[in-house]
Structure 1
């Protein structure tokens, strides 16, 4: 046992010496120390915190992104409220001016132009000589006709004398009844020939009078289409050539195509105002003279004539003008900008905002005034109507009003 204890003591001493001297290998550890365990726990806690923070950050970013996407999907719109107007409506329509009398001047006889006395722009009075035509052939025809008339007259005189003589002889039975009838018939034939010669002379004399061309009314020469020496042809087998064009512009006619929607508002003898670009700020007052009393099926318009005095000659035929008509007052009408209207297969609509949703409302137009339209039915003054709605806007779509102050009608507190 002593040896045994001694041996053990020696082995322990040898192990201690080996540990101190380092000459022997370190035996396996028996377990982790307390500090090691604490470090491991700290590392695990830090890793868990990093993972939890990352997950929370990603969840928060996802929620923010969803909110932003939802907000961006809501359209922002501008609105306007229908406004009422108690002013008298007026429509302005384009028209064309025409001379009150507009006539081309032709020749009724053939020949050569000898002289003309008025050029374009000249004012002429009724009955003034405008031009002269030389008609040598007609002059010769007239001379022949006059000679034929003299011959016919001589033959008639002889026939009358013969017929009278036979009538006297018949009373004494100196001639037969047959011979007397022949003489009487010859007188009638000669008288008819004389009458025909007289008619021919009158015809040629009338044609000769057309050598002088006179103004048929007071007016202005707007065209001259001939000159000295020009051949003038007039006849049934020739196309006449216009020599002059004469227009009376002391009064001007204006023809206006009035849309069918306003045709019932146009009355004869009512006032109409004329404006021209060349006379800014100046109005010319006229009257509705007449209308066609028929709607043109192609254009769906009523042809209306407005007559305007033009004593100063400021208005010229052929000018492009605007004619202003007064139409009946609409005190309860509502108006909207034209850019609020939606044209779809369902008909004319506007988009209104109820709460934060879109509501499409069908409307009917009364008068179209260009930039604005009159709403006949479908809206109230308190309605919030979207300006420039998109083509894809749909009923029930969520929207956001750009200016919340615009959501309240004018005058609301």
Structure 2
């Protein structure tokens, strides 16, 4: 029995070692296969052309479509004010009446001179007519007397016309004592009271009597930066919000473009007409204007995450023949998560959706997942 034990032990030990080696070899092969099978597929997409649609927000200001400061044209005193702040007026409506006693006196004087000149002209014309009739009998009136009478008549007629012009001038000046609305709107300011002195010079003339605004139609004034001027044209529709009205959204159309850039701001003065019949919007309000940046051309569009900004340049990563390839590009506009790209690309190329410098150039790609 002792001899049998010595023979069996080495054989048993060798069998144990062989079995252990086989077990290790089998376990290592299994682990390698699992790692290869577990490599995730890279998300990718097929390159296509499209138009970029985005927008920017620019501050703007609402102003009255028409606004005028109404002054007195002659030195006078305010006799009566027919309107006040907030009054809605119609075109031609009488707003205020002034009085100027010296104008009344001047008008009476002009009327007297006019009547006097009319009497002089009537007399000289009658004299000429009588001489003309008498001259038809030969030898009764000399031609010289007839010519002198005719000249006097014409001179008196000229003096009469001058008197009429002087009277009309004073009459027109007197009409300036009435201030009327040049257009329909709302009185937004009143700076005088009854009895105040007003006129083109002197105390009280520094401020206008009234400020009149047309508020049923407003102008939305926007300064569009140079980079975005090509996106707005006449009749382009824009939307805007007013914070003081709980960001309520309004619409309008571009009506007036300056056609030149402001030298200081490098922007184009742009005006949008806004209908405001309910007068919810007020002149002076600040608005956030949304300017659509709709491209009119089709270019290659990629997700912004597909653009690699490295120290060497700007690239997208293309998958070709199972390997990665860094393609140098330049970028255009961007918006809503998309970017315009330009470079040696073709429609139908497969590009990786999300890239970083960890995605090396010219390395094998296990698989891609298109979306």
Partner of 1:131: 96
Flag the structure with larger Rg. 1
Two-structure CA RMSD over aligned residues (Å): 3.8
Partner of 1:189: 155
Return closer, same or farther for 1:234/1:383 CA change in 2, 3 Å cut-off: same
Q: Give the superposition deviation at 1:297.
A: 4.1
Once the two structures are superposed, what CA deviation does each residue of 1:243-290 show, in whole Å capped at 9, x if it has no partner? 111001111111212223322221222321121111234211111112
Q: Distance in 2 between matches of 1:184 and 1:241?
A: 55
Check conservation: 1:96, 1:321, Cα contact below 8 A: yes
Name the SS of the counterpart of 1:95 in structure 2.
strand
Partner of 1:30: none
Residues 302-313 of structure 1 mapped to structure 2, 5 A cutoff: 302-313=268-279
Q: Report the TM-score, using the length of structure 1 for normalisation.
A: 0.62
Q: Give the superposition deviation at 1:364.
A: 4.2
Check conservation: 2:80, 2:98, Cα contact below 8 A: yes
Check conservation: 1:294, 1:302, Cα contact below 8 A: yes
Q: After alignment, is 306-315 or 163-172 more displaced?
A: 163-172
Q: Give the superposition deviation at 1:334.
A: 4.3
Q: Distance in 1 between matches of 2:115 and 2:309?
A: 88
Residues 106-121 of structure 1 mapped to structure 2, 5 A cutoff: 106-121=71-86
Return closer, same or farther for 1:318/1:376 CA change in 2, 3 Å cut-off: farther
Q: After alignment, is 169-178 or 213-222 more displaced?
A: 169-178
1:317 aligns with one of 279, 283, 297: 283
Name the SS of the counterpart of 2:239 in structure 1.
strand
Return closer, same or farther for 1:188/1:266 CA change in 2, 3 Å cut-off: same
Check conservation: 1:363, 1:379, Cα contact below 8 A: no
Q: Distance in 2 between matches of 1:410 and 1:111?
A: 89
Check conservation: 2:238, 2:251, Cα contact below 8 A: yes
Name the SS of the counterpart of 1:168 in structure 2.
helix
Once the two structures are superposed, what CA deviation does each residue of 1:296-330 show, in whole Å capped at 9, x if it has no partner? 34433222211111011011112111222323256
Once the two structures are superposed, what CA deviation does each residue of 1:353-374 show, in whole Å capped at 9, x if it has no partner? 9xxxxx9x7844425x6x9894
Q: Distance in 2 between matches of 1:123 and 1:284?
A: 24
Name the SS of the counterpart of 1:118 in structure 2.
coil
Q: Distance in 1 between matches of 2:146 and 2:283?
A: 71
Q: Distance in 1 between matches of 2:67 and 2:286?
A: 17
Equivalent pairs counted in the alignment come to 302
Unmatched tracts of structure 2, length 5 or more = 1-43, 318-325, 346-350, 360-365
Return closer, same or farther for 1:319/1:114 CA change in 2, 3 Å cut-off: same
Check conservation: 1:108, 1:210, Cα contact below 8 A: yes
2:117 aligns with one of 152, 158, 163: 152
Q: Is 1:366 aligned with 2:333?
A: yes
Return closer, same or farther for 1:144/1:373 CA change in 2, 3 Å cut-off: farther
Residues 11-410 of structure 1 mapped to structure 2, 5 A cutoff: 88-172=53-137, 173-234=139-200, 241-329=207-295, 332-334=300-302, 336=304, 363-366=330-333, 374=339, 376-377=341-342, 382=352
Name the SS of the counterpart of 1:283 in structure 2.
strand
Check conservation: 2:52, 2:294, Cα contact below 8 A: no
Check conservation: 1:156, 1:190, Cα contact below 8 A: yes
Partner of 2:13: none
Return closer, same or farther for 1:411/1:267 CA change in 2, 3 Å cut-off: farther
Return closer, same or farther for 1:256/1:128 CA change in 2, 3 Å cut-off: same
Name whichever structure is richer in strand by fraction.
Answer: 2
Q: Distance in 1 between matches of 2:249 and 2:52?
A: 20
Return closer, same or farther for 1:300/1:341 CA change in 2, 3 Å cut-off: farther
Q: Distance in 2 between matches of 1:239 and 1:229?
A: 13
Report 1 or 2 for greater relative contact order, CA contacts < 8 Å, sequence distance ≥ 6: 2
Once the two structures are superposed, what CA deviation does each residue of 1:131-151 show, in whole Å capped at 9, x if it has no partner? 110111111100000011011
Q: Report the TM-score, using the length of structure 2 for normalisation.
A: 0.69
Return closer, same or farther for 1:148/1:131 CA change in 2, 3 Å cut-off: same
Q: After alignment, is 139-148 or 275-284 more displaced?
A: 275-284
Once the two structures are superposed, what CA deviation does each residue of 1:210-251 show, in whole Å capped at 9, x if it has no partner? 22212222111111122222211237xx97752111001111
